[in-house]
Amino acid sequence: MKAVRAEHHSSRRYEVRHVTTYAYPDDVTSSYGRACLRPRDTPEQQVLEHTMQIDPVPDAFVEHVDPPPNHSHYLEIHTPHRTLRVAKQSILWVHRPAPDLGALDAWTVAAAAAVPDREAPLERAAYLLPSTLVDLAPEVRAYAERYLPPDAGLGAGLAALTTGIFTGFRYAKGATTVRTTLPQLLQIGAGVCQDFAHLAIGALRSVGIPARYVSGYLETSPPPGKPKLQGSDATHAWVSVRTPDGSWLDLDPTNDCVADSRYLITAWGRDYRDVSPLKGVIFTEGSGSSLDVSVDVTRLPD
């Protein structure tokens, strides 16, 4: 796993702009949607400002909190339209201290799996069971045994799993779809951050360690000497692991590192389906649509 860089764990502020635009070939007469775009407040992240703009203006727009809990928006639009634009802007304060992976070696993988969670047993169960996109198939269990044998130190095992996914898979957009299963991913050998997070979760749950899917953003930098292009950032996904002391540790197998202050959390759940940014149903005589997503993650002056 890549070495921790102290400067990446310092406190900082970010502005996040996320614009999703759907274009339809014919009038949409009714649209029903669910958005998961408002970031979470956590001990390491505070939401200082958050706004959403939707065009056309919804006939119904309700915000509430869903389990685990995440902020969720329900919207209805009954104005005929051929374009739907959902724009969110958030300002966040983030400070993620560097974790001590070595301290987790006080437990073996088997010992960590055996520690009961008396404070949140239902949460533990939710993140141990298989879910729609995290199938604990025999192939996944066999993969987990490579990096998480019962007698391995927990910290060493987590680092090995993170690095194993990073080195063993090629990052390739289009190699998978939202319906790709974990056994299929293991055969393909390529995917994106969503796939790698699901695989890490599947491996951890296979050995009895609770793990959840985290959706959010990652600050990126342009190549040396090049300007950062507007809208060039993207949503990101990683895995969060429940440790025996009841805390959660965030790991990013796509980049072979622990999550630091560059990582901004929107929501978490059992898998991607729990936290997809925008989903819904439309009524139209046309067929097909086009989708454009623009994301900007900008670090603000202290």
Q: How many CB atoms lie within 10 A of CB 77?
A: 23
pLDDT in tens, 226-270: 777 676 688 999 999 999 999 999 999 999 999 999 999 999 999
Angle, CA 259 vertex, CA 45 and CA 223 arms, to 5°: 105
Tokens coding 165: 């996914």
pLDDT score for 302: 78
pLDDT in tens, 288-297: 899 999 999 9
pLDDT in tens, 160-213: 999 999 999 999 999 999 899 999 999 999 999 999 999 999 999 999 999 999
Mean pLDDT on 10-29: 97
Q: What SS3 class is residue 245? A: coil
Task: Using pLDDT thresholds of 50, 70 and 90, give the confidence band for residue 67.
Answer: confident
Distance of alpha carbon 156 from alpha carbon 144, whole angstroms: 14
pLDDT score for 232: 65
pLDDT score for 222: 78
Nearest alpha-carbon partner for 137 in 180, 172, 171, 173 = 180
Which sequence spans correspond to the domains of the chain? 11-94+276-300, 101-274
pLDDT score for 231: 66
Q: How many CB atoms lie within 10 A of CB 301?
A: 5
Q: For the ranges 47-51, 67-71, 163-167, 204-208, which has the lowest average pLDDT? A: 67-71
pLDDT score for 233: 86
Q: What contacts 228, CB < 8 A, 6 or more positions away?
A: 220, 221, 222
Q: What contacts 150, CB < 8 A, 6 or more positions away?
A: 108, 109, 110, 207
Distance of alpha carbon 202 from alpha carbon 197, whole angstroms: 9
Q: What is the mean pLDDT of the chain?
A: 95
Please say whether the beta carbons of 71 and 38 come within 8 A. yes
Q: What percent of the chain has pLDDT over 90?
A: 88
pLDDT score for 227: 76
Measure Cα distances from 151 to 115, 154, 221 in Å. 15, 9, 39
Three-state SS string across 206-228, please?
Answer: HCCCCEEEEEEEECCCCCCCCCC
Per DSSP bridges, beta strands 60-66 and 70-77 are: antiparallel
Distance of alpha carbon 180 from alpha carbon 164, whole angstroms: 20
Task: Using pLDDT thresholds of 50, 70 and 90, give the confidence band for residue 4.
Answer: confident
DSSP letter for 261, please: T
Please say whether the beta carbons of 162 and 202 come within 8 A. no
Distance of alpha carbon 264 from alpha carbon 218, whole angstroms: 6
CATH topology of domain 101-274: C8orf32 fold (3.10.620)
**Amino acid at site 16:** V
Record the pTM.
Answer: 0.95
CATH number of 11-94+276-300: 2.60.40.2250
Mean pLDDT on 103-126: 93
